[in-house]
Amino acid sequence: MGRKTPLYDLHVAQGARMVDFGGWDMPVNYGSQIEEHHHVRRDAGMFDVSHMCVVDLRGVATRGFLSRLVANDVGKLRSTGKALYSCMLNATGGVIDDLIIYFLTESHFRVVVNAGTRDNDLAWMRRCAADWGLDVEIIERTDLAMIAVQGPKARAAVAELLEPQDRERALLLEPFFGLECGAWFVARTGYTGEDGFEVVIPAAEAASVWKALNAAGVASCGLGARDTLRLEAGMNLYGNDMDESRHPLESGLAWTVAFEPTDRDFVGRAALEAIRQSGGSPMKLVGLVLEERGVLRSHQKVIVPGVGEGEVTSGTFSPTLERSIAFARVPRATGETVQVDIRGKLLAARVVKLPFVRHGRALISL
């Protein structure tokens, strides 16, 4: 048996099919994964993401600590509540994890890390703080639950559950900002390509909040739909699209690495600088649309005639596009078309700019 979130019993009671995800027993769907996917694109759906780990970093040294710890620049975090997406790298530039950092106060930053990497992340953070002689309190918030409410009607549904004095402030939040509302933390972030809130609440309140959102018309959705939604939205999944052996420049994450200011010495910087000085990463991550019938899956071989080979890192059937889509790591010189080896057959796929879908609309031509 795996670890359980505060919502486990409710998922089972709602008929969820439970699967192991990073050592956690999580709902993969409550019936139809495709219907759950469409609910989020067209209306509102919610995901239990309590398996992800909220880490509070406290102390006046926190900003300096984070500016060395992660590849994006926390110097961009100047407004209260602002969020920053970043990779945390090892010395060779490999991705230890991708995470979101919220700036709450100068002595309190909140970080959300992946479920499968949480123990490793915490150990790495503690080791870095000790090595650098920085006095940062690193607090794993196992007392909290997290629900991602996503879709065009998601924010209004969450706002109804807030105290009147918080409601308007929450609805005025700009994208990628969060707000403390009493014991709750509400952020306009997500992993679906739709508008919505991610809500961090005391674990004891999780089941009642989930039921109240159900009553407000928000559909219970599983990790299956979360995966098809994030793929359509062009968002990476740790462990599939990048890991400790892959650096951001070959993982579609160059935009998250802040080389400026040049004197900010973050872990992995020297390795990434060396790649840039040698002419850039030989591989890149691209989007693929399968031109024939079939389904792209991770680890399928990609053949780029005259150039070389690559590999699908994440693939699925896109419910919105009704086509198979994928991310693939391919040679930098890859052009507009490739072939993918699906059970011994070579099928044609087109290279496209990510994302595939945003705010319910296809962004690629079919």
Partner 1 sequence: MSQVLADLRYAKSHEWARSLPDGRIEVGITDHAQHALGDLVFVDVPQVGTALEVGGACAVVESVKAASDVYSPVAGTVVEVNDALSGSPELINEDCYGKGWLYRVQPASSSGLDALLDANAYSAVLAAEGG
Residues that bind partner 1 (CB under 8 A): 17, 28-29, 32-34, 224, 228, 293-295, 297, 316-317, 319, 324, 343
**Shortest gap between Cβ of 70 and partner 1 (angstroms)?**
33
Residue 29 or 117 having the CB closest to partner 1: 29
Residue 150 Cβ, how far from partner 1 at the closest point, in Å? Answer: 18
Choice between 155 and 226, CB closer to partner 1:
226
d(CA 210, CA 206): 6
Query: What token pair was written down for 205?
Result: 């309140």
Contact 205, 162 (CB under 8 A): no
Work out how close the CB of 49 gets to partner 1 at its nearest, in angstroms, rounded to a whole number. 19
**Least Å from the CB of residue 32 to partner 1:** 6
Element (H, E) at 309: strand 308-318
For 238-248, b where at least 16 C-beta lie within 10 A, e where not — what string?
bbbbbebebbb
Q: 253 CB contacts (<8 Å, ≥6 apart)?
A: 87, 95, 98, 236, 242, 285
Q: How far is the CB of 47 from partner 1 (least distance, A)?
A: 16
User: Cα(267)–Cα(360) distance, rounded to whole angstroms?
Assistant: 37
**Count of beta carbons in the 10 Å neighbourhood of residue 212:** 15
Q: Which is nearer to partner 1, 87 or 302 (CB)?
A: 302
Rounded-to-integer distance, Cα 357 and Cα 354, Å:
8
Return the DSSP state at 224: H
* Residue closer to partner 1, measured from CB, 178 or 319: 319
Here the tokens at position 326 are: 């994928």
Quote the CA–CA distance of 186 and 113 in Å, as a whole number: 17
Q: How far apart are CA 107 and CA 342, in angstroms?
A: 52
Q: Which is nearer to partner 1, 189 or 318 (CB)?
A: 318
**Minimum Å distance from CB 7 to partner 1?**
21
In the bound state with partner 1, the residue whose beta carbon lies nearer, of 67 and 150, is 150
Q: Which is nearer to partner 1, 1 or 277 (CB)?
A: 1
In angstroms, what is the minimal distance from the CB of 68 to partner 1?
Answer: 40
Concatenated DSSP letters of 74-94: GGG--STTBEEEEEEE-TTS-
Rounded to the nearest angstrom, the gap between the alpha carbon of residue 352 and the centroid of all alpha carbons in its chain is: 21
CB of 41 to partner 1, least distance (A): 14
Task: Give 314's strand partners.
Answer: 327
Query: DSSP characters for 124-153?
Result: HHHHHHHHTT---EEEE-TTEEEEEEESTT
Please give the C-alpha separations between residue 235 and each of 47, 232, 240, 299, 326, in angstroms, as whole numbers. 16, 8, 11, 18, 11
Closest to partner 1 by CB, 32 vs 337, is: 32
Residue (343 or 361) nearer to partner 1, CB: 343
Minimum CB separation of residue 50 from partner 1 in Å reads 22
